[in-house]
């Protein structure tokens, strides 16, 4: 009877193990396939993103070079018939040497004639006025062409170009030529996937113009042409296809800048080989576990009674020897488990009643020691916090010393060597001094940012009307006069509970921004209003008629060094609004913006009302009167 019972149990376990193993295999197969597919897609995405970033960097290079005065001067000389200095050719050759992936760098006038080039044989011999990229560049200022045939070499190339301007008028084009084969060697050829892996560079017409990997069989005949067309049709995603009874999978991504596509693939048999190994491993594991299960069933059957009895006997024996902490652990749900639970409760009751005084003293000593350690840690934490508060202030002061030396020596060089320096040297000296000046302003901003927590005063009643009046008469008087700006306060502003220095700095920053960020020849108009907010706060709004801010940048502008414009467009360090946010948060308030591009902006913040009873009554009466007037 016992043998039949064991055989039935063993058979059931074997069937259950087989079913669970099969289910686990198919589930693992699905997971592995998804993981490998995702990995291939991520490799394709990362390669495409890397190439797009590289293209953007090259576009920025061309734009920056096009702004250099040396090329504007060369174009001006060519238009008035003067000889062009060799400096522009030399400069283009230096750039070509430093950026070897360019096949050539060329400068044309507005008629499409090459007047300077890293390859001097092109000067005066080539006219690109009929090239689409030349016309597009004059219209769009910067352009990346699709793949075209080089008129000189008939090789596949693409062009990155930027307009050279003088007084905002395009007078010529600076463009760099990149050979597709060099581009392929730079990005496609180094791609490593697996033994059967391959990568293609495909143009918009479906021609495969670049490759790497094990593609010797694929690079032949009509099959390659059809594959390229299939890749060009899909653009983003992946495809599978059969070639010589082998299934292959290819992932595609379109490059945003030049109209090319990158395709990465491999044989499915190789990349999905781990799934086949998993199947054989599962079979072996299943057989192993079936054998283990038989042994396990026999062992469990023998222990169902013997082991609980042995545990009970051992526990009772130890308890009889005075070991009151003895516990009987049984992982069953039968009579033996109930008996063990009763025994454990009895042992717990006896142990609680026999707790020694020595244990109590030990517990008290441990608690005292823990409290002393906590007090010590709190002191250390306070010291560290104090060090952090002073770090930015001290570091900023130390950083300003070398900047003073840079500026001083720059002034000395300018005075002593001004007539001896070339235009390029003067321009470099100007860049150095301008960079030092901007760095100094950033450090001053950091100091202002650190002072929000370090240079503080106790909150007191502050009349915002007096603050605005003093700012107009003192700090902002010059800016208001130069811009002919108007600051309006339709209704008297409230008295608030704040640090007088910091609330003055906050109002100054917001009004100054409204004056500064304006369209050219636009007269700034600043309006300051106030209204009650929740939890005893006042909401102050500063509205301007400036250039406005797009909604997607409303949160980013309050971050440190976050600027939406270059220093040539609007001066600043990107710290002012970060200081405003820190001041408002220190006062327990919030700050935000309501704005659309080209429609002005309203910066608002909340601060506590004045706590004097008469002041609160006066403010509430004024707000009620404003509401009735509305």
> How does pLDDT run across 281-299, given as a tens digit for each residue?
767 777 777 777 767 766 7
What integer is the mean pLDDT of 28-38? 75
Whether residue 117 sits in one domain with residue 72: yes
The strand order across the sheet containing 237-243 reads 208-213, 198-202, 261-267, 246-254, 237-243
Distance CA 491, CA 624 (A): 12
300 pLDDT band (50/70/90 cuts)? low
Cα separation, 224 vs 221, in Å, equals 6
Average pLDDT, integer, range 101-117: 90
* Beta strands 156-166; 148-149: pairing state: antiparallel
Q: What is the pLDDT of residue 233?
A: 67
Helix axes 357-417, 423-454, angle to 10 degrees: 150
Residue 304's pLDDT is 67
- Helix axis angle for 464-473 and 500-516, nearest 10°, is 50
Report the C-alpha gap between 473 and 436 in whole angstroms.
31
pLDDT for residue 376: 87
Distance (Å, rounded) from C-alpha 243 to C-alpha 247? 6
Residues 395 and 257 in one domain: no
- Least confident range of 19-23, 214-218, 447-451: 214-218
- Segment 331-355 shows an average pLDDT of 71
507 and 624 in a common domain: yes
How does pLDDT run across 388-428, given as a tens digit for each residue? 566 665 656 666 677 777 778 778 877 887 777 788 877 77
Question: Hey, which of 267-281, 474-488, 609-623 has the most confident mean pLDDT?
Answer: 474-488
Q: What is the Cα 287 distance to its own chain's centre?
A: 51
Range of the domain at 519: 458-629
Highest average pLDDT, of 259-263, 486-490, 619-623, comes from: 486-490
| Residue 343 maps to a domain | no
Same domain? For 251 and 378 the reply is: no
Residues 619 and 495 in one domain: yes
**One domain for residues 574 and 538:** yes
User: Are residues 141 and 250 part of one domain?
Assistant: no
Whether residue 611 is found in the same domain as residue 473: yes
Percent of the chain with pLDDT over 70: 71
> What tokens were used for 39?
């990995």
Q: Which residues pair with 198 in a beta bridge?
A: 213, 265
Residue 6 included in any domain: no
Q: What is the DSSP string of 174-214?
A: EEEEEEHHHHIIIIITT----TT-EEEEE-TTS-EEEEEES
Range list of H helices, 67-146? 69-79, 86-98, 132-140
The reply to whether 346 falls in a domain is no
Q: Which of 153, 182, 211 corresponds to the end of one domain?
A: 182
What is the Cα Rg of the chain in Å? 39
Report d(CA 521, CA 409) in Å as an integer: 37
* CA 315 to chain centroid: 62
* Average pLDDT over every residue of 347-364: 69
Confidence class for position 623, pLDDT limits 50, 70, 90: very low
pLDDT of residue 629: 45
Task: Give the mean pLDDT of 191-204.
Answer: 74
Coil vs helix vs strand at 102: strand
In degrees and rounded to multiples of 5, residue 49 shows phi and psi of: -65, -40
151 vs 233, more confident: 151
Sequence-distant (≥ 6) Cβ neighbours of residue 473 within 8 angstroms: none
Let me know if residue 298 belongs to a domain: no
Q: Where do we find the tokens 């992946």?
A: 238
Domain count along the chain? 4
Highest mean pLDDT among 84-93, 260-269, 274-283, 519-528: 519-528
* Residue 498 within any structural domain of the chain: yes
Do residues 614 and 583 share a domain?
yes
For residue 177, what pLDDT band results from cuts at 50, 70 and 90?
A: very high
Rounded mean pLDDT of 15-26?
69
Give the burial class of 487: count Cβ atoms within 10 A of its Cβ; 0-12 exposed, 13-18 middle, 19 or more buried: buried
In this model, does residue 311 exceed pLDDT 50?
Answer: yes
Inter-residue contact 593 to 557 (CB < 8 Å): yes
CATH number at residue 262: 3.30.450.20
User: In this structure, is the dihedral angle defined by the CA atoms of residues 513, 167, 96 and 435, taken in order, positive or negative?
Assistant: negative
Q: Is 514 exposed, middle or buried (0-12, 13-18, 19+ CB in 10 A)?
A: buried
Within-domain flag for 194: yes
Q: Are strands 246-254 and 261-267 parallel, antiparallel or unpaired?
A: antiparallel
Do residues 469 and 614 share a domain?
A: yes
Co-location of 573 and 613 in the same domain: yes
Give yes or no: residues 466 and 591 share one domain.
Answer: yes
What rounded mean pLDDT belongs to the chain? Answer: 78
Residue 155 contacts residue 267 (beta carbons within 8 Å): no
Closest CA to 252 of 190, 195, 206: 206
Query: What pLDDT score does 613 carry?
Result: 40
Judge whether 315 lies within some domain.
Answer: no
Question: Is residue 439 in a domain?
Answer: yes
Q: Which residues contact 584 (CB under 8 A, 6 or more apart)?
A: 506, 590, 591, 605, 606, 607
Query: What are the distances in angstroms from CA 409 to CA 67, 421, 428?
Result: 27, 15, 14
User: 203, 209 in Cβ contact below 8 A?
Assistant: yes
Looking up residue 554, the CATH number of its domain turns out to be 3.30.565.10
Instruction: Extract the tokens encoding 518.
Output: 């304006």
Domain stops at, among 250, 271, 292: 271
* pTM for this entry: 0.41
Lowest mean pLDDT among 161-175, 319-333, 340-354, 551-565: 319-333
**Mean pLDDT, residues 68-77 taken together:** 87
> Which of residues 447, 481, 500 is at a domain's end?
447
Tally of CB atoms within 10 A around 14 = 17
DSSP secondary structure of 368-434? HHHHHHHHHHHHHHHHHHHHHHHHHHHHHHHHHHHHHHHHHHHHHHHHHHTTTS-HHHHHHHHHHHH
Q: What pLDDT sits at residue 577?
A: 86
CA distance 239 to 224: 15
């Amino acid at each position: 009877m016992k043998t039949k019972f064991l055989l039935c149990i063993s058979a059931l376990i074997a069937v259950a193990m087989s079913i669970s193993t099969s289910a686990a295999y198919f589930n693992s197969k699905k997971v592995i396939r998804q993981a490998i597919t995702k990995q291939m897609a991520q490799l394709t995405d990362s390669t495409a993103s890397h190439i797009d970033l590289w293209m953007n960097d090259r576009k920025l290079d061309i734009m920056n070079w096009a702004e250099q005065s040396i090329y504007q001067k060369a174009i001006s000389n060519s238009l008035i018939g003067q000889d062009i200095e060799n400096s522009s050719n030399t400069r283009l050759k230096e750039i070509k040497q430093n950026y070897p992936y360019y096949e050539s760098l060329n400068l044309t006038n507005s008629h499409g004639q090459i007047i300077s080039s890293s390859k001097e044989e092109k000067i005066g011999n080539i006219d690109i006025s009929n090239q689409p990229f030349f016309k597009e560049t004059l219209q769009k200022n910067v352009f990346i062409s699709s793949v075209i045939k080089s008129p000189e070499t008939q090789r596949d190339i693409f062009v990155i170009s930027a307009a050279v301007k003088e007084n905002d008028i395009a007078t010529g084009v600076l463009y760099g030529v990149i050979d597709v084969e060099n581009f392929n060697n730079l990005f496609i050829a180094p791609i490593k996937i697996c033994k059967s892996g391959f990568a293609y560079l495909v143009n918009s017409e479906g021609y495969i113009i670049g490759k790497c990997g094990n593609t010797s069989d694929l690079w032949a005949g009509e099959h390659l042409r059809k594959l390229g067309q299939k890749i060009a049709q899909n653009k983003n995603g992946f495809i599978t296809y059969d070639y010589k009874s082998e299934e292959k999978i290819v992932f595609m991504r379109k490059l945003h800048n030049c109209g090319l596509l990158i395709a990465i693939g491999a044989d499915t048999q190789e990349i999905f080989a781990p799934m086949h190994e998993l199947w054989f491993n599962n079979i072996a594991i299943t057989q192993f576990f079936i054998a283990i299960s038989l042994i396990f069933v026999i062992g469990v059957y023998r222990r169902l009674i013997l082991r609980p009895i042995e545990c009970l006997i051992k526990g009772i024996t130890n308890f009889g020897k005075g070991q009151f902490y003895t516990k009987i652990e049984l992982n069953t749900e039968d009579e033996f488990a109930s008996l063990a639970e009763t025994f454990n409760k009895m042992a717990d009751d006896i142990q609680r009643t026999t707790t020694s005084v020595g244990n109590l003293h030990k517990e008290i000593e441990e608690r005292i020691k823990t409290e002393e350690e906590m007090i010590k840690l709190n002191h250390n934490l306070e010291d560290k916090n104090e060090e952090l508060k002073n770090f930015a202030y001290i570091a900023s002061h130390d950083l300003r010393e070398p900047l003073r030396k840079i500026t001083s020596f720059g002034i000395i060089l300018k005075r002593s060597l001004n007539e001896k320096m070339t235009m390029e040297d003067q321009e470099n000296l100007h860049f150095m001094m301008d960079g030092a000046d901007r760095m100094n302003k950033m450090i001053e901003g950091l100091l202002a940012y650190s002072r929000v927590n370090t240079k503080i005063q106790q909150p007191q009643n502050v009349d915002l009307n007096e603050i605005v009046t003093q700012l107009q008469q003192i700090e902002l008087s010059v800016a208001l006069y130069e811009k002919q700006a108007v600051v309006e306060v339709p209704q008297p502003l409230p008295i608030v509970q704040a640090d007088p220095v910091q609330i003055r700095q906050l109002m100054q920053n917001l009004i100054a921004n409204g004056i500064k960020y304006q369209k050219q020849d636009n007269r700034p108009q600043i309006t300051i209003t106030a209204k009650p907010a929740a939890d005893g706060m006042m909401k102050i709004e500063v509205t301007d008629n400036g250039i406005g801010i797009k909604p997607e940048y409303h949160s980013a502008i309050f971050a440190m060094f976050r600027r939406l414009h270059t220093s040539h467009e609007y001066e600043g360090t990107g710290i002012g609004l970060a200081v405003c946010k820190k001041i408002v948060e220190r006062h327990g308030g919030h700050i935000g913006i309501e704005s659309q591009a080209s429609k002005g902006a309203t910066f608002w913040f909340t601060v506590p009302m004045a706590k004097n009873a008469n002041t609160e009554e006066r403010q509430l009466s004024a707000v009620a009167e404003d509401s009735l007037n509305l």
